[in-house]
Amino acid sequence: MKFQAIRGMKDILPEETGQWRMVEDLAREFFPRFGFHEVRSPILEKTELFIRGIGETTDVVEKEMYTFTDRSGDSLTMRPEATAQLCRVYVEHKLYNQPGGWKVFTMGPMFRHERPQKGRFRQFHQIDAEVMGVDEGLVDAELIGMLVAFLEACQVGRVTVRLNSLGCKECRLAYREKLVAFLKEREEGLCDECRRRLELNPLRVLDCKQPSCQAIVKDAPSSADHLCGKCESAFELVRRGLDSLKVEYNLDNRLVRGLDYYVGTTFEVVSDKLGGQDAVCGGGRYDDLIEEVGGPPQAATGFAIGIERLLLLSDLEPPPEEADLFMAMLGDQAEEMGLKISHRLRLGGLKVVLEAEGKSLKAQLRRAGKMGVRAVLILGPEEIKAGQAVLKIMEGGEQQTLDLDSLNQTLPRILHKKA
Ligand code: HAM
Whether the pLDDT of residue 418 is over 50: the answer is no
Q: List all residues whose CB is within 6 A of at least one atom of ligand 1.
A: 81-83, 112, 114, 119-121, 124, 126, 128, 130, 258-259, 279-284, 286, 302-304, 306, 308-309
Q: Which of 12, 81, 132, 160 has most ligand 1 atoms within 8 Å of CB, for mutation?
A: 81
For residues 295 and 385, is the Cβ–Cβ distance under 8 A? Answer: no
236 vs 165: CA distance, rounded Å? 10
The pLDDT value given to residue 419: 40
Which parts of 86-159 are beta strand (E)?
102-111, 123-132
In the three-class reduction of DSSP (H, G, I as helix; E, B as strand; rest coil), residue 8 is classed as coil
Average pLDDT in the chain: 94
For residues 235 and 141, is the Cβ–Cβ distance under 8 A? Answer: no
Lowest mean pLDDT among 269-278, 323-332, 340-349: 269-278
| Averaged pLDDT, 43-59 | 94
The pLDDT value given to residue 289: 96
130 vs 150: CA distance, rounded Å? 15
C-alpha pair distances (Å), 99 with each of 35, 93, 106, 134, 335 = 11, 16, 20, 9, 61
Whether the pLDDT of residue 317 is over 60: the answer is yes
Lowest mean pLDDT among 103-107, 167-171, 263-267: 167-171
**What is the pLDDT confidence band of residue 208, given thresholds at 50, 70 and 90?**
confident
Lowest mean pLDDT among 71-80, 138-147, 198-207: 198-207
Could you report the per-residue pLDDT of 303-313, keeping only the tens digit for each? 999 999 999 99
Residue of the nearest CA to atom 18 in ligand 1?
120
Does the CA dihedral 142-146-148-152 come out positive or negative? positive
The pLDDT value given to residue 174: 87
pTM, whole model, 2 decimals?
Answer: 0.93
Closest ligand 1 atom number to CA of residue 83: 27
Q: Ligand 1 mean position to 129 CA, how many Å?
A: 12
DSSP string, 312-346: HH----PPP---SEEEEE-SHHHHHHHHHHHHHHH
The pLDDT value given to residue 270: 96
The pLDDT value given to residue 223: 87
Q: Ligand 1 mean position to 134 CA, how many Å?
A: 22
DSSP string, 12-44: --HHHHHHHHHHHHHHHHHGGGGT-EE----SE
Q: Which of 309, 313, 314 has most ligand 1 atoms within 8 Å of CB, for mutation?
A: 309
Q: How many CA atoms lie within 13 A of 212 on its CB side?
A: 11
Q: Ligand 1 mean position to 322 CA, how many Å?
A: 35
Could you report the per-residue pLDDT of 342-362, keeping only the tens digit for each? 999 999 999 999 999 999 999
CA 251 to chain centre: 25
Neighbours of 224 (CB within 10 A): 20
The end-to-end CA distance of the chain, in Å, is 50
C-alpha pair distances (Å), 222 with each of 202, 268, 334 = 13, 17, 77
The pLDDT value given to residue 417: 57
313 vs 159: CA distance, rounded Å? 9
C-alpha pair distances (Å), 355 with each of 280, 330, 338, 342, 365 = 42, 11, 9, 11, 12
Q: Which of 104, 147, 259 has most ligand 1 atoms within 8 Å of CB, for mutation?
A: 259
288 vs 311: CA distance, rounded Å? 33
Return the H-helix or E-strand segment holding 174: helix 169-184
Residue of the nearest CA to atom 17 in ligand 1?
120
| Averaged pLDDT, 37-51 | 98
Under DSSP, the state recorded for 272 is G
Residue of the nearest CA to atom 2 in ligand 1?
282
Greatest alpha-carbon pair distance for the chain in Å reads 95
Return the H-helix or E-strand segment holding 11: none
Residue of the nearest CA to atom 30 in ligand 1?
303
31 vs 105: CA distance, rounded Å? 8
Nearest to 274 by CA among 246, 228, 314: 314
Could you report the per-residue pLDDT of 105-161, keeping only the tens digit for each? 999 999 999 999 999 999 999 999 999 999 877 999 999 999 999 999 999 999 999
3-state secondary structure 278-295: CEEEEEEECCCHHHHCCC
